[in-house]
Amino acid sequence: MSQPAIDLNADVGERPGPAGLAADLAIVGAVSSVNVACGFHAGDAARMRAVCAEAVLRRKCIGAHVSYLDREGFGRRDVDVEPETLREHVVQQIAALRIEAGMEHGRVGYVKPHGALYHRAAVDPERAVVVVAAIAATDRRLKLLAPPDSALLRCAQEHGIDAVAEGFADRAYRPDGTLVPRGEPGAVLEPAQALDQCVELARTGRFRSLCLHSDTPGAAELAVALRNRLIGAGFEVRPFA
């Protein structure tokens, strides 16, 4: 009997300086997919290319981590933007990452909205349509990573885009299945809690991917521990795209 598969993804390319890049490259080695910041909330062309080079070297899947144009707020503020402008911004971000990935003989396999765009599009059908339209206009083979039972997943499925449900290994959930907002006590889990939760989420069968945030304290070490815990629990850690 084959092992059940689960993807382990991480947000990377977001932290400045050599130390931030070094930590990101360590994370790339442990996960199976990397959500690369495309410059609108963090990152730049050089960092995109460096992360993509490492991903190609280690045979990891590359995804475009697209966001509102909000570097000051790290993409975690809901921005009032016209749908057509947002659509063009998402298209631009995917295109920018495809260029950098291509320079390293890699390819972009999926798209994941970041921060406020992720959470807004999960519950707002109009915003979800904009994200999905941007993907369809770029390359309909791109997959979409989004919350389960969300407007994003439903919209993608309606428009023929392969939609993949993800859970968060390092974030606390409320009883109703929503995330505890950042800034509230316990919103980011301690390592031991994250290790237990990743297996619990994987065993539900609701998720094809689990996410680790690179700004979670000790993220590089936690990425290795999460992978080992999943493998020890009988899962094969592999990309979904």
Q: E-assigned strands of the chain?
A: 5-12, 33-37, 61-66, 108-113, 143-146, 163-168, 209-213, 236-237
Share of the chain above pLDDT 90, in %: 93
Type and span of the H or E element at 147: none
Is pLDDT above 80 for 1? no
78 exposure class (CB count in 10 Å sphere: 0-12, 13-18, 19+):
middle
- Longest Cα–Cα distance of the chain, Å, equals 50
The predicted structure's pLDDT at residue 177: 86
Distance CA 33, CA 55 (A): 8
DSSP-assigned states of every residue in 175-216? TTSPBPPTTSTTSB--HHHHHHHHHHHHHHS--SEEEEETTS
199: phi then psi, degrees, rounded to nearest 5: -70, -40
Who wins on pLDDT, 225 or 182?
Answer: 225
Q: CATH number for the domain including 130?
A: 3.20.20.370
Average pLDDT, the chain: 95
Q: Which domain holds residue 75?
A: 5-237
Mean pLDDT of 81-88: 97
Query: What is the reported pLDDT for 215?
Result: 86
> To the nearest 5 percent, what fractions of the chain are helix, strand and coil?
45, 20, 35
Instruction: Report pLDDT for 3.
Output: 85
Q: Look at residue 126 in the predicted model and tell me its pLDDT.
A: 97
CB atoms within 10 A of CB 181: 11
Q: What pLDDT score was predicted for residue 183?
A: 85
In terms of phi and psi (left: phi > 0; alpha: psi -120 to 50; beta: otherwise), the region of 17 is left
Six-digit token string for 23:
């930590």
Which of the given ranges, 47-61, 179-193, 211-225, has the highest pLDDT on average? 47-61
Q: Residue 138's CB: how many other CB atoms inside 10 A?
A: 19
| Tens-digit pLDDT profile for residues 4-46 | 999 999 999 998 899 999 999 999 999 999 999 999 999 999 9
Q: What is the pLDDT of residues 90-109, one digit of tens each?
A: 999 999 999 999 999 999 99
With a cut of 90, say whether residue 225 has pLDDT above it. Answer: yes
Residues 122-176: tens digit of each pLDDT: 999 999 999 999 999 999 999 999 999 999 999 999 999 999 999 999 999 999 8
- pTM of the shown model: 0.95
Q: How many domains does the chain fold into?
A: 1
